[in-house]
Structure 1
Amino acid sequence: MTAPSPATPTPPTPRILSVPVLSWGLWDWGSAAFNSVATTFVFSVYLTTPGLFADGDGGTGALSMGLLIAGIVVAIAAPITGQQGDRRGRSHLLLAFFTALVVISMLAMFFVYPTSPLGSVGALWLGVALLGFGNIFFEFASVNYNAMLPRISTRQTMGRVSGLGWGLGYIGGIILLALMYVGFIAPEVGWFGITAVDYLNIRVVMVISAVWFAVFAIPVLAFFPHRPADPAALAAPRETLPAAYRRLWSTVRSLARVSPPTLKFMVASAIFRDGLAGVFTYGAIIAAGTFHMSQGDILIFGIVANVVAGLFTIGCGPLDDWLGPKRVIVSSLILMVGCGIAIFVLHDAGTWVFWVFGLVLSSFVGPVQAASRSLLGRLVPEGHEGEVFGLYATTGRAVSFLSPAFFASAMWFGGLVINKGESSQYFGILGIVIILLAGAALTAPLSVGRRGDRHVVMDIS
């Protein structure tokens, strides 16, 4: 009689708070210096302030043109950047290289001020160029950074790891913003005697933010496990750009054949990610125009919303691993749609509506983003992480027109149905709601089955 073979023991679940995971998450924490300080709250506002570098909306127009060009470059080149990291095992090197270029771009922002030798117009275009280059390099770095997620997590832990990183990004950005506001922006004489003469306080903030990013990027470069390079790829001559794009197209066709869920999810996520971008873009506009909140109140709301979003994103990581990322994404998007409709219906009831439903809505933005990253990490074929995350960045850029178009169209429709002379701005909320609902509808058919304790993609019906 043959003895039964012993059952294969289940490997222990890797620790979340390990050195590789924490060092990876600290890059998210540090990168908020670029996202929060450079692109959202400080440097972009500084460049576009009317009368500072240009009259009226001249600064806004210049910045929009620069970011449009940067977006096109990212959409074209991001997959190729990831592809090279995959094949040559140089994701560490590429992450370090592009992070350094972002840091250098931020350091150079010190030289952007209206009375500089370049003149106000020259300084404006220098600032636009630095912010555009920073965006390009940041997206390239993010491709290689996101591609590391499957290497420090399993299907059991990917949601918690992704949520931890994204949550750290929210919290790190708010802490840095608060320090810079208290230390340099708010007081007449800030720390180290820095004043607003020649906007030195803003310029020093950019230098400190660059150092912040550089310091917190070091751990992932020092402690993250390297992936060995493909010897054949290293021995082969460097590919030309046309050859790299032929290889990329071959990958897309292979994904369509062997992993169609990956491509379908990219389309769905591109749509709802643009809806999330619309939440950030138009949230403050709705707060000021529809709810008549002051700039100070909007800033306080932004700080509270980001802290809540960061903590909620970390807290939802276990739900990602337990229920599966698709359920987190779809349920979060539906709750956001409900909050958006509530804000639309109750817009005349006072600012409490925006505080209550706006905070609830904001708390689900991070879980959607983190779960989207973890779901793609579960779908991507091994060895193609950088290339696929590059495609992920490209698809997001490809539909970046959706939020502005739907917001404007909904406002136009609102102007047709309300009394003449009344503001139809609050109708724009419905445009964002439609995009989020469409993203949820496209994501919902993605079936995620279970194999033991691990979530695996089975089919798309």
Structure 2
Amino acid sequence: MRPALRAEARPRDVWAWAMYDFANSGYTTVVITALFNAYFVAVVADGQPWATLAWTAALAVSYLAVLATAPVVGAFADLRAAKKRLLALSTAGCVLFTALLYFAQPGALWLAVACLVLSNFFFGTGENLIAAFLPELARGRGMGRVSGWGWGLGYLGGLFTLGLCLAWIAWAEKRGQGAADYVPVAMLITAAVFALASLPTLLLLPERAVPREGRALDAWREVARTLRSAAGFPDLRRFLTAALCYQAGVHTVIALAAIYANQAMGFTTQQTLLLVLAVNVAAAAGAFLFGHVQDRLGPVRAIAWVLVGWLFTIVLAALARTPGTFWAAAHLAGLCLGASQSGGRALVGLLSPPSRRAEFFGFWGLATKLSAILGPLSYGLVTWASDGDHRRALWATGLFFVVGLALLTGVHAGRGRRAALRAERALAKAPP
């Protein structure tokens, strides 16, 4: 571990940082991917033709809110050295509104939508903030490995929370309870795990940044300066554009996997949860292994191979007519999911000026949240326009990976890293 870490970083710091991935992954796994999405469509929205579109539209609103605030939150965190304080606030918000999903009973559509929008907004904000700690812990060549440790532990956290919910659902179903009985309790389980597992991060992870002089409104000036200087970071800009495209496909898989399994493949709730459980095992392996692959092959080439894997996954899933074929596609999706999420975060850290990383990770959050609007919403629109044809929507999703791969070929990590270091030296020489 030590060669991958910065001199001032301790293994305990890395563990505390990675535990946040463990904590928050239960939210995405249970609420967004495995359980609440299918429950929302089938039970809360009563399986109406517009239900999938309503789910994706609610997610789009939450991601728009993150998109609008992420750069300013990141710039303010850099200015005030407030990453950890803001992380605590975003964690509390996500935990609270996840717990309030307990009241999302059949017919309570607007309550479900409001709690989903707010919980996902706070989740996305926290995701950006925790990512900004990575460059304080890892050396440039070790970011892939350290990021992979975080993502790998994150998928284990998703497995843990999903396993607890699966055990609860199995117990409840044996006693004749239906989804309207056991899914709300699963939301409480998810919120409790998030709150407890995030404590090591909030208590032990040090904030190494130093506050700078300035007013709160200076955060807006920092954002404006970043936008004006974007021409000096062409590789980062091109990668963010590529990430916007391929992450649209990734977010579609995350947000709609359970819905696809239920609607297109006829999976039951327990079958869907077991499927997502297997995907998380594969994703954990992909995240752990990909960090080493990325550090050996280079980040751009490694991510390109992952996007090829995603294309094979889409083809396999869209053609699947039997559970066995779909299970194979799900395992491949898990490997690609862990690898693509870990690799993108590490590459942004590599291409960002050291003293402005929270701000640049805010733009990474902007790109990924815009993709989270574009991908799932396009899927929802295709299913709505095609009278519920989920396979056609999945084929359309594959186009995002094709465009992302084409854009990625023009990114040069070494050149981008040199541009970031030049900008850092210029910043250090600039008068206060």
Q: Give CA-to-partner distance per residue, 1:236-256, whole Å, 9 cap, x none.
A: x331xxx64443122122132
Q: Which has the larger radius of gyration?
A: 1
In the aligned structure 1, how far is the partner of 2:36 from the partner of 2:295? 37
Alignment partner of 2:16 out of 12, 23, 36? 23
Q: Tell me by how many angstroms 1:202 deviates.
A: 3.4
Residue by residue over 1:419-443, the C-alpha shift from the partner in whole angstroms, topping out at 9 and shown as x without a partner, is xx9x975444432222112111111
Report 1:352-371 matches (<5 A): 352-371=324-343
Which amino acid in structure 2 is aligned with residue 433 of structure 1?
G
In structure 2, how many angstroms separate the alpha carbons of the residues matched to 1:252 and 1:391? Answer: 10
Asked whether the equivalents of residues 13 and 206 of structure 2 are also in contact (C-alpha less than 8 Å), the reply is: yes
Greater relative CO (CA pairs within 8 A, separation 6+): 2
Q: Does the 8 A contact of 1:20 with 1:223 survive in 2?
A: yes
Task: Give the structure 2 partner of residue 225 of structure 1.
Answer: 206
Alpha carbons of 1:66 and 1:297: their partners in 2 closer, same or farther (altered >3 Å)?
closer
360, 369, 374: which is aligned to 1:401? 374
Q: How does 1:57-456 map to 2 (within 5 A)?
A: 63-113=55-105, 120-121=107-108, 124-182=109-167, 184-188=168-172, 196=177, 201-233=182-214, 237-239=215-217, 244-257=219-232, 259-284=233-258, 287=261, 293=267, 295-344=269-318, 347=320, 350-399=322-371, 400-402=373-375, 404-405=377-378, 426-449=391-414, 456=417
* Distance change (3 Å), C-alpha of 1:354 and 1:48: closer
Measure the CA separation in 2 of the matches of 1:410 and 1:206: 27
SS of the aligned residue for 2:140 comes to coil
For residue 225 of structure 1, give the secondary structure of its aligned residue in structure 2: coil
Residues 99 and 378 (structure 1), Cα distance of their counterparts in 2 relative to 1, 3 Å cut: same
Kept in 1, the 8 Å contact 2:49–2:384? The answer is no
Q: 2-side partners of 1:356 and 1:55: how far apart? A: 28
Distance 1:365 1:326 in 2: 16
- Post-superposition offset of 1:352: 3.1
- 1:73 partner letter: A
Matched-pair contact (CA < 8 Å) for 1:143–1:393: yes
Q: 1:69 to 1:256 in 2, by over 3 A?
A: same
User: 5+ residue gaps in structure 1?
Assistant: 1-10, 115-119, 416-420
Following superposition, the deviation at residue 22 of structure 1 comes to 0.9
Identity %: 26
Q: TM-score, normalised by structure 2?
A: 0.84
Deviation at 1:201, TM superposition (A): 4.0
Instruction: Give, in whole Å, the separation in 2 of the partners of 1:189 and 1:410.
Output: 31
Query: C-alpha root-mean-square deviation of aligned residues, in Å?
Result: 3.4
Counterpart CA distance in 1 for 2:200 and 2:84 is 11
CA drift at 1:126: 2.4
**SS at 2:71's partner residue?**
helix
Taking a change above 3 Å as real, the CA distance of residues 30 and 246 of structure 1, as seen in their structure-2 partners, is same
CA offset digits 1:346-396 (Å, max 9, x no partner): 546x44332324422331121011000000010111121121111112223
| Per-residue deviation, 1:109 | 3.1
**CA drift at 1:319:** 1.2
Alpha-carbon distance change, 171 to 410 in structure 1, aligned in 2, over 3 angstroms: same
2:227 counterpart letter in structure 1: V
- Preserved contact between residue 196 and residue 202 of structure 1 (Cα < 8 Å): no
- 5+ long unaligned stretches in structure 2: 421-432
Contact 2:33–2:254 (8 Å) recurs in 1:
no
Q: What SS does the corresponding residue of 1:156 show, helix, strand or coil?
A: helix
How far has the Cα of 1:278 moved from its partner? Answer: 2.3
In structure 2, distance between residues paired with 1:426 and 1:53: 21
- Between the two proteins, the alignment pairs up a number of residues equal to 416
Q: Is residue 155–residue 280 contact of structure 2 (8 Å, CA) maintained in 1?
A: yes
Question: Contact between 1:48 and 1:57, CA under 8 Å: does it hold in 2?
Answer: no
More helix by share: 2
Q: 1:197 to 1:219 in 2, by over 3 A?
A: same
Q: 1 CA distance for matches of 2:248 and 2:134?
A: 22
User: In structure 2, how many angstroms separate the alpha carbons of the residues matched to 1:166 and 1:25?
Assistant: 8
